[in-house]
Amino acid sequence: MIKDKNNMSYADFLMLQETERSRIAEDLHDTTVQELVALSQKLDLANLYFDKDVTQARLELISAKKQIKDIIEDIRNTIYDLRPMSFDDFGWDASIERLHRDVDQKSDMNVTFDIDSINSVDNVIQITVYRILREAVTNVYKHAKASRLYVTLHIQNKEIYLEIRDDGIGIQSDIKENHFGMQFMREKVKLLNGSMAVDTGNTGTTVIVTIPIG
């Protein structure tokens, strides 16, 4: 069986690509498409108000303008994920700061990042770990209904140790195994010969990922 330099079979590589495509499609449907539908409804409402209440119509348009900005930002984030070369422009530290800022702006959670720099690690590993981290964080603020999010990343014993912990509603067992986001993370971890564990319940979810680097 054909293997690449990361010891992943060609079949695994194709499966990873398919999982990533499915995740992107799901994300676009759950966020961008739904936001565009809501935006269309908001503009229809503003149009109705123009003949009856100009002030309310203007308020609807102001709200629509903000929604357009949010949609643009979501699309930019998707493009950012699809273009690993952009990681070379910003680097690990700036990308983590950007992610932290995005989560703060898009959610009401109390977010704590305790993340070491891994600039000395191979660039492919940096990009892949960043994508795993970003997917986990995105899952929390979109689905967990959490008030607190803790993200820790350290290098210890020649391993990258990543922990994402929230106090949300937990993940149903079928979703934990079959959700495209979780599949995406597991495939990325597998690509780096790492391990991933998910502990979930009514009091929150903890995801622990370890990646060998030595």
104 shares its domain with 210: yes
Q: Which pLDDT value is given to residue 208?
A: 97
Q: Cα separation of 163 and 150, whole Å?
A: 8
The answer to whether residues 23 and 72 belong to one domain is yes
Same domain, 96 and 180: yes
Range of the domain at 191: 91-214
Burial code of 133-165, b = ≥16 C-beta within 10 A, e = fewer? bbbbbbbbbebbebeebbbebebeeebbebbbb
Q: What is the pLDDT of residues 20-37, one digit of tens each?
A: 677 677 777 777 888 888
- Tens-digit pLDDT profile for residues 167-192: 999 876 545 454 557 888 998 898 88
Q: How far apart are CA 100 and CA 139, in angstroms?
A: 14
Comparison of pLDDT for 83 and 38, the residue scoring more? 38
Number of folded domains in the chain?
Answer: 2
Q: Are residues 157 and 185 located together in one domain of the fold?
A: yes
Evaluated on CA atoms 138, 144, 147, 150, the torsion sign reads negative
pTM: 0.67
Whether residue 132 sits in one domain with residue 44? no
Nearest to 124, CA basis, from 85, 151, 180: 85
Q: Are 39 and 67 in contact (CB under 8 A)?
A: yes
**CA 10, chain centre distance (Å):** 26
